[in-house]
Structure formats: C-alpha cells, structure tokens
Structure 1
C-alpha cells in the first residue's frame, strides 16, 4: 500500500532519507530538507542515493548531495523532492491516506506496483505488466463493486482478501 510522509520542521540527512522512501511527501511550506550527510563526511544511505536522482534528476541530486544545501518546502516541491506543501502536513497526509483507503485495495496495490516499475523496465515489459494487472482486476469482486457503487451513487464497500 502507498506510504504518505508528512514533514514539518527539519528533515536533514536521515530524516530526509526516510521521507524519500514514501510514495508521497507532504511538507510544511517552512520545512527544511537537506541531503546533509556530506557535511558530516558521509554519503546518503538508506537508498537515498538511488531514490534522490529519480525524484529530482541526476544533476540536482548531485548538487544537493555535494553541498548539503538546505531547501524550503516550496522549493522542495518545485524541484520534485516533495509532492506538495500544506501548512498542516500531518493533517493533510492523514486525509490523503484516508482518501486512498477508500479506493479498491487491489487496484491501489496494482497501480503502485506498476508506477514503481516505470523507468525500471522497458516499455514493452511495462505494457505487459499493465495487461497482467488489468486482467486480474477486470471482473474481480472489488472492480464490480466500484462500478456498481458509482451507478448506485453510494460509497463502495471493498474487501481486501
């Protein structure tokens, strides 16, 4: 299932590495984020050196890593380090998690798996994985419930079996 991180205050070094592991990062506008390890004579760990370039691009990842520059919440969004800002990031993250939880758990898991594959596999292999997921979802109890609930103008009642 998706992981939503909320960042308020400082996320320097290890704190940022933990946030990078989330699927979605909501930060306070005045949050401070930094790949701070180089200031301590270290390098990013916890897969930070792998995730950071994927989010911000290789050159920006190098700049942030080589300098330990601190960025604010607004800039973090602009460069791709964060998803969005909110003055109350924890409240916003919990609301988003609740919204995600109202969706079909099987569809959400499949979507996460496919999006995590993007860029790590060829287009043909990615398309084949999409077809596999669609084949498993179409006509499944939760997919039928999603359509039925929409037509009946009610909230769906999904199962997670």
Structure 2
C-alpha cells in the first residue's frame, strides 16, 4: 500500500500531500492513520515554520471513503470520548491543523467534499481553484458534519448559508467557497500561491508567528480582557529577544533575516 501522506520540508516550509490520487484522496482508514501521524510529527517539529497541505492527482479530497469502513457491528460508533484534547479521533483530522503551532495553508483543487472541506477548514489560510467542486456532503449519507467543521466554520461562513449547504449537500464552486467564507481566496494556481505565502511566512520571526497563531486561536472564545492579556504576555516573551532584534536589523540592513 502506498504511503497515504507524504511530507517534504524545504527552508522551513513543510509540504504535506494527501497521496491517494487514484481515489481522489478519499479518506479511508489508512488515510486517517497517515494524517494523524503527520499531525503528531508536525506538532513537535521545531524546524517547521509554515505548512502547505495539498492533494495529489486531480482532487484535494473527496471526503469519506464510506465503502472502506463499511457498516460492521464492530465499527467504532461512540464518538463522544475526547481522545485529542477537546476533540475525538475523527475531529482531530480537521481540528489538529488549527492546533499546530505554525500556520497551515491549504491548496485546494478538483474536488473538496465532506471531510475534505473540513480538512481545509483547519487551515489558517485556504487557497482554492475557482472551478473546484465543493460540498458539505455528509447529509447524502444520512450523517452530520463531524470532523470539526462546525467550530472551524463559525465566524467565517454565514450561519444561514451554512445551514442550507448542510441540509441539502448541494455542490458549489471554488468561487462560491470564497464568497461564502469557506476559502480565503481563489487562484488559478492554488499550490503555487500557497507555497509562495508559506515561504513569506517562513521568513518572518518564528517566535512572533507562533505567538500570533496562538492569539488568533483564542479569538473565538476568549473575552476582550483575556485577549488583551494574551497580547501582553506573548509580546513580553518576544520583544528584545534575539529573533526580534534580528528582524529589525535585517530590515534596516536590507537583507534576509537569519533566525535561530
């Protein structure tokens, strides 16, 4: 069996590729395991400064490969236990990207259905081809979105539009995805654009980037007072430290920064 998830790192940018192109990168048990392993590796890799998530072949991810799981008596059906912090093992496939300490940029093309749409949702920035076919597909199978889509879409996708798309599982385009709030921007070359953004991010003070993501992740739940305090705490940890001073020096000396 081919390795389901491939990872290569260049100059601090890790490119993570779903590698089941012959099946439009549909999520089978091996893909679940591959994504989970990739998340665990990235969570502790201090050399990675930005991540790009994409799919091999003609699609980003066609969602759950229902036939690979089947409807067996011994299939896991209790999804209530929290196995990954706030999330269960299924939700971690989307939620886990948001919890990584560095920014994640998804490059989406072809098809982005169901679980694929929730993988994209976990990214900090989502770049999508305008002709991508998207859908909140779970209702087709008599299910609800359960890979962390709801908390990740909250604040980005308008409530009534999300309800319509969940209830009907209608297909919409990449352009619609950007308009609705599922995607950040559309681009004819989403992978090239994602890699460009990742390289820009990887060239910034890594301490500040990680702190900025940490604060950004608090915005959905934290009070104003908690966010104000978080700004102060993180800035105190950054200011006048070597990497921050190097960022200033590199700017004034018109050179690339060399961070520790």
With the length of structure 1 as denominator, give the TM-score of the two structures: 0.95
Task: Tell me which protein shows more helix as a share of its residues.
Answer: 1
Please, which of 108, 119, 132 is the counterpart of residue 31 of structure 1?
132
1:94 corresponding residue in structure 2: 195
Contact 1:53 1:61 in 2 (8 A): no
What does 1:72-83 align with in structure 2 at a 5 Å threshold?
A: 72-83=173-184
1:149 corresponding residue in structure 2: 250
1:19 corresponding residue in structure 2: 120
Aligned Cα root-mean-square deviation (Å)? 1.0
4+ runs of 1 displaced by more than 3 Å?
none
Please, which of 152, 157, 163 is the counterpart of residue 56 of structure 1?
157
Contact 1:30 1:72 in 2 (8 A): yes
Distance 1:60 1:116 in 2: 24
Distance 2:257 2:201 in 1: 13
- The structural deviation recorded for 1:53 is 2.6
With the length of structure 2 as denominator, give the TM-score of the two structures: 0.59
Distance 2:116 2:227 in 1: 32
Gaps of 5+ in 1: none
Distance 1:9 1:54 in 2: 26
Instruction: Check if 1:130 corresponds to 2:225.
Output: no
Aligned residues: 159
- The structural deviation recorded for 1:54 is 2.8
Distance 2:215 2:151 in 1: 18
Q: Which secondary structure does the structure 2 equivalent of 1:26 belong to?
A: strand
Distance 2:107 2:207 in 1: 25
- The structural deviation recorded for 1:57 is 2.9
CA deviations 1:90-137 (Å, max 9, x no partner) are 111111111110111111000011111113110011000000011111
Distance 1:86 1:78 in 2: 13
- The structural deviation recorded for 1:78 is 1.3
- The structural deviation recorded for 1:151 is 1.0
Q: Which secondary structure does the structure 2 equivalent of 1:43 belong to?
A: coil
Q: Which secondary structure does the structure 2 equivalent of 1:54 belong to?
A: coil
Please, which of 208, 211, 216 is the counterpart of residue 110 of structure 1?
211
